Structure 1
Amino acid sequence: MLRYLIVGIIAFSVDQFIKWSVATYMDLGQKIPLISGVIQVTSIRNRGAAFGILQNQRLFFIVVTAIVLIGIFVYLRKIYRKQKMLAYALALIFGGALGNFVDRALHGEVVDMLEFTFINYPVFNMADVFIVIGVALVMIDTLRASRTEKISAQALSE
């Protein structure tokens, strides 16, 4: 269980360090190209959720995220020995969700900074990246488990 908590703590720490760096060293609205025409660092604040929805619903986000974090922790304790990929996925989701939770709880807003410039896509942060990677791993694990079950069922029926 400790290795998964460490993964979550690393994800949380990376997210918080980058947010702190942007908030400390960049002016609000400032843009710094990373790869010209592809991605830039843009210092903005978000009081809502993904794509800016549900603006100024701080209490809602705090309550829902607290419930999700508790649920992930409880489920992680249940599955970590048998479902390693799922455990890593949940650890990444936990770390990312905790990062955005802390921002909302302490500051009432989330620092966003990563902006794709080659497409019209909302600015996001590292917590969001960790959550998306975690969800992708959950989907891969689910598809893999479904395929394994299907192969096992076919083998039993033959």
Structure 2
Amino acid sequence: MSSKLAIFVGNDRGGYVGFPLWLGLSVAVLDQLTKLLVVSYGEVGWSITVLPGLFNLVHVRNYGAAWGIFSEHTWLLGVVSLVAYVLLVVFFRNLCDGQRFLRIVYGCVSGGIVGNMLDRFFRGSVVDFLDFHWGPHHFPAFNVADISITCGVILLFLHTLFGFGKHKEPISAEEAGEL
């Protein structure tokens, strides 16, 4: 790995937090921009068929967590999101445990948390707009933040169970970003 990339991604001893910071920020910004487009297009309830029988763009609001659970506690979910984000930031070094791969997980999850948390605090609900279905069977609508959190959790699962992203052999000083 080049030293410039190693400085950005970080080395295995803690390193620089630039990569997860920029990944998380990029996810949160993309999430908020797509939601702004959805909200500016029209009121809650509109739907555009993109792939008949498979995919629609919609404008729905989720006042709860996944699949609408705890919908009567939107403010509490916002606080829980904030606490989860603060804990991720505080324990970031220990969570990554010297693994560059986990910085990707951290960036995905933290960016998704921030994207949905901003909705809860400033809109009172989370804007969802991606609606996949198979005939009459609809998966709950979701957004960019949800995709990012899900990808982060899947990567963490693969990392934990199967060692995906772990170094099989010790890395050289050059790969670690030392000069």
TM over 0.5: yes
Measure, in 2, the Cα distance between the counterparts of 1:58 and 1:86: 30
Instruction: Write out aligned runs for 1:146-157 (5 A).
Output: none
Q: TM-score, normalised by structure 2?
A: 0.76
Partner of 1:140 in structure 2? 158
Any conservation in 2 of the 1:46–1:52 contact (CA below 8 Å)? yes
Measure, in 2, the Cα distance between the counterparts of 1:58 and 1:43: 18
Any conservation in 1 of the 2:63–2:125 contact (CA below 8 Å)? yes
Are residue 41 (structure 1) and residue 57 (structure 2) matched? yes
Code of the aligned partner of 1:68? A
**Which of these residues, 121, 137, 144, is aligned with residue 105 of structure 1?**
121
**Which of these residues, 139, 144, 162, is aligned with residue 121 of structure 1?**
139
Which structure carries more helix by proportion?
1
CA displacement at 1:27 relative to structure 2: 2.9
Structure 2 unmatched ranges of 5 or more:
1-16, 169-179
CA displacement at 1:77 relative to structure 2: 3.2
Q: TM-score, normalised by structure 1?
A: 0.86
Partner of 2:75 in structure 1? 59
Are residue 83 (structure 1) and residue 83 (structure 2) matched? no
Code of the aligned partner of 1:102? L
Measure, in 2, the Cα distance between the counterparts of 1:72 and 1:114: 27
CA displacement at 1:126 relative to structure 2: 1.1
CA displacement at 1:145 relative to structure 2: 3.2
Structure 1 unmatched ranges of 5 or more:
152-158
The secondary structure found in structure 1 opposite 2:43 is coil
CA RMSD across the alignment = 1.9
